[in-house]
Amino acid sequence: MENKYFTTPIYYVNDKPHIGHAYTSISVDVLKRFYKLLGCGSYFLTGTDEHGQKVEKAALDKGVDPKSLQIKSLKTFRALSDILNLDNDDFIRTTEDRHIKSVQNLWNRLLENDEIYLSKYSGWYSVRDEAFVAENEITEKDGKKFNSFGSELSWVEEESYFFRLSKWQDRLLELYDSVPNFVHPKSRLNEVKSFVSGGLKDLSISRTTFKWGIDVPNDDKHIMYVWLDALTNYISALGFPDQENKKYKDFWPGIHVVGKDILRFHAVYWPAFLMAAGLEPPKQIVAHGWWTNEGEKISKSLGNVIDPIELINVYGLDQVRYFLMREVPFGNDGDFSKDAMINRINGDLSNNFGNLMQRVLSFIFKNSNQTIDFTDKVLNFEIYQNIISSQNNLFEMMDKYSFDGYLKIIFGHLNDLNTYVDKSAPWELRKTDQVRMKEVLDQISLCILKITQFLSPFIPNGAEKVYSTFGLDESYLSFDKFDEIIKKNSLKISKPEPIFMRIDS
Ligand code: ME8
């Protein structure tokens, strides 16, 4: 099975993390955990973007130097990774030596390949997006200029090195045509294609009017444009410039999961930089949609930023992870509302999954000698066979990043199981047919075990809790260990702890 390398964007340290950052990180964590269960080699990178005018400006506004701001915010982003229970393999910072070495090496390759020249930039710039903005993308209001994201623009005029991006137009279009799903979803691929087909201008890749960045080699007047610096993190973490490094050989090219706001940097500039440096472009760029808060754009000035840590403290980690992955098809925009979240948690996790677990396992604990046996008859149980047969569908859903589609299939099985429990009523069978009662409980337990395995990338804590009730440690959550569970023949369960309690709105 081929190795998978998944990355999140590296987040700016100018501000505290919010729900959007948590969303991207959780989605990549789900992918990492899923492919790990499947037995693939998988690598997960996240980190922080610590240079640039935006970070420098935030530091100046707070009256501190960028280094201390960067250290303070780094702590919060690192803490968020822990709080989200991310299974990341590395956390990269763009101020680390390994990264600076890597970016400067990439620069030198571009220079050697005659992909860089010195000139002068004059035009509009969005500090908020760290982006140069073309005339045709500018709107005006009250005498001020804005880009399409509504960020205010400032005029920049300075000496700058340029990357010969215009030269890469045809090669980029070829790349989009030759690599299936290079950008996912297709609608975003079309957007990228039409941007590139419209013609590319050479890109300014250095700045001279401030200092907070990586030095351009052999020219102490210039620092690198923050996006050239930031994008390179994806290979710095694999040991670049050492292309013989095992991680680089095993995992590059990677799959970058990003918000739709930064698609152009990833699907146009990044593959062009890499190809121009003689390196392989990424495998795929996956762009997800944008969250709003109760219908409004999330922004500091509107005071409606959703703090993921607060949410987790109130609703629980697995609950927040599940809601974000289930509520909105990945790729679409979504609106966050507390009511929607409570309904989702109560409806799916509490009433459906948690309740099934609790009533069946407590009943077994009290009435069925606390053991579960997997006889052939149990293994032939129709709902279990349906779960097994849906496996390929589930893999396909994951392959096309349809997290909600995947979860819908699982919860369809859970609905069937709940109906089966009601219909076969083991509490009645206890009085009339204890052999059949045990068989029903064994069938349901088998299904719970399999379903929990499929759910575990989304709700890792809950899944571990369920498995430990069956006396199984987390290593049994891997797909190829399921046979071992079955071969155990008999499992003994301990007193089940309630999971996913109802939330009172
Ligand atoms: O752009 N909805 O960092 P950043 C969904 N440093 N996702 C959201 C979101 C929202 N409302 N708000 C933020 C940068 N995100 C650069 C990246 S990568 C080489 C450099 C998520 O801190 C989404 O993934 O502004 C978006 O792309 C990212 O946070 C932007 O994070």
287 in Cβ contact with 9 (< 8 Å): no
Mean pLDDT of 385-389: 98
Q: Is 24 in the pocket of ligand 1 (CB under 6 A)?
A: yes
Start-to-end C-alpha separation, the chain: 45
Q: Which atom of ligand 1 is nearest to the CA of 260?
A: 27
By alpha-carbon position, which residue is closest to atom 24 of ligand 1?
259
DSSP letter string over 156-213? EEEEEEEE-GGGGHHHHHHHHHHSTTSEESHHHHHHHHHHHHT----EE-EE-S---S
Contact in structure between 271 and 242 (CB atoms under 8 Å): no
- The answer to whether residue 413 scores a pLDDT higher than 80 is yes
- φ, ψ of residue 363 to 5 degrees: the values are -65, -45
pLDDT confidence of residue 14: 86
Q: What pLDDT shows up at residue 488?
A: 85
Torsion angle in degrees (nearest 10) through CA of 448, 453, 454, 460: 110
| Per-residue DSSP letter, 402 | -
Contact (CB, 8 A) for 9 and 262 = yes
Nearest CA to ligand 1 atom 29: 21
Of the residues 6, 8, 11, 81, which should be mutated to test ligand 1's pocket, given the most ligand atoms within 8 Å of the CB? 11
Ligand 1: does its nearest atom lie under 6 Å from the Cβ of 10? yes
- Kindly state if the Cβ of 261 falls inside 6 Å of ligand 1: yes
Q: Is 129 in the pocket of ligand 1 (CB under 6 A)?
A: no
Q: Are 206 and 162 in contact (CB under 8 A)?
A: no
Which band of pLDDT confidence, cut at 50, 70 and 90, is reported for residue 63?
Answer: confident
Asked if the model's pLDDT at residue 301 lies above 90, the reply is no
Which atom in ligand 1 lies closest to the alpha carbon of residue 8?
24
Grade residue 443 by pLDDT with cuts at 50, 70 and 90: very high
Best residue among 24, 286, 297 to mutate for probing ligand 1's pocket (most ligand atoms within 8 Å of CB) is 24
pLDDT confidence band for 371 (50 / 70 / 90): confident
Is residue 216 within 8 Å of 206, Cβ to Cβ? yes
298 CB near ligand 1 (under 6 Å): yes
Residue keyed to tokens 């997960």: 44
Q: Is 496 in the pocket of ligand 1 (CB under 6 A)?
A: no
pLDDT digits (tens, 9 = 90+) for 150-190: 899 999 999 999 999 999 999 999 999 999 899 999 999 99
The predicted model gives 200-207 an average pLDDT of: 96
- CA dihedral sign of residues 384, 389, 390, 394: positive
Ligand 1 mean position, distance from CA 13 (Å): 11
How confident is the model over 242-257, as pLDDT tens digits?
999 999 999 999 999 9
Closest CA relative to residue 75, chosen from 57, 48, 100: 48
Ligand 1 pocket check for 308: Cβ under 6 Å: no
Cβ–ligand 1 contact at 334 (below 6 Å)? no
Which are the contacts of 195, defined by CB distance < 8 A and separation ≥ 6?
264, 268
Cis peptide before 457 (omega within 30 of 0): no
Give distance in angstroms: CA of 254 to centre of ligand 1. 18
pLDDT tens-digit map of 246-297: 999 999 999 999 999 999 999 999 999 999 999 999 999 999 999 999 888 8
Spacing of C-alpha 14 from chain mean position: 21
Please say whether the beta carbons of 207 and 222 come within 8 A: yes
Taking residues 474-493, report their average pLDDT: 90
Q: Is the pLDDT of residue 75 over 90?
A: no
CA distance 327 to 40: 27
Encode pLDDT of 80-120 as tens digits: 999 999 999 999 999 999 999 999 999 999 999 999 999 99
C-beta of 20 in contact with ligand 1 (< 6 A)? yes
Ligand 1 within 6 A of 266 CB?
no
Contact of 208 with 158, CB cutoff 8 Å: yes
Which residue in this structure is represented by tokens 């509520």? 327
Burial class (CB in 10 A: 0-12, 13-18, 19+), 206: buried
For atom 13 of ligand 1, the residue with the nearest CA is 20
Q: Report the atom number in ligand 1 closest to the C-alpha of 234.
A: 19
| pLDDT above 90: residue 9 | yes
Cβ of 89 below 6 Å from ligand 1: no
CB-based contact 269:231 (threshold 8 Å): yes
Distance CA 356, CA 360 (A): 6
- Ligand 1 in contact with 306 (CB < 6 A)? no
Q: Which atom of ligand 1 is nearest to the CA of 231?
A: 19
Average pLDDT, rounded, for the chain:
94
What pLDDT, on a 0 to 100 scale, did the predictor assign at position 504?
87
Mean pLDDT in residue range 200-222? 95
Residue with tokens 């987790």: 312
Query: What is d(CA 140, CA 32) in angstroms, rounded to the nearest whole number?
Result: 43
Ligand 1 nearest atom to the CA of residue 230, by list position: 19
Mutate to test the pocket of ligand 1, among 102, 227, 258 (most ligand atoms within 8 A of CB): 258
**Tens digit of pLDDT for each residue in 224-235?**
999 999 999 999
Q: What is the pLDDT of residue 59?
A: 86
The token pair that represents 142 in the structure block: 């009250």
Whole-structure pTM over 0.85, yes or no?
yes
pLDDT confidence of residue 308: 94
- Give dist(CA 289, CA 29) in Å, integer: 17
Give the mutation target among 12, 18, 302 for probing the ligand 1 site: most ligand atoms within 8 A of CB: 12
Hey, whose CA ends up nearest to atom 18 of ligand 1?
9
Instruction: Write out pLDDT tens, residues 14-25.
Output: 888 999 999 999
> Distance, CA 17 to ligand 1 centroid (Å)?
10
Residue bearing the CA closest to ligand 1, atom 14 = 11
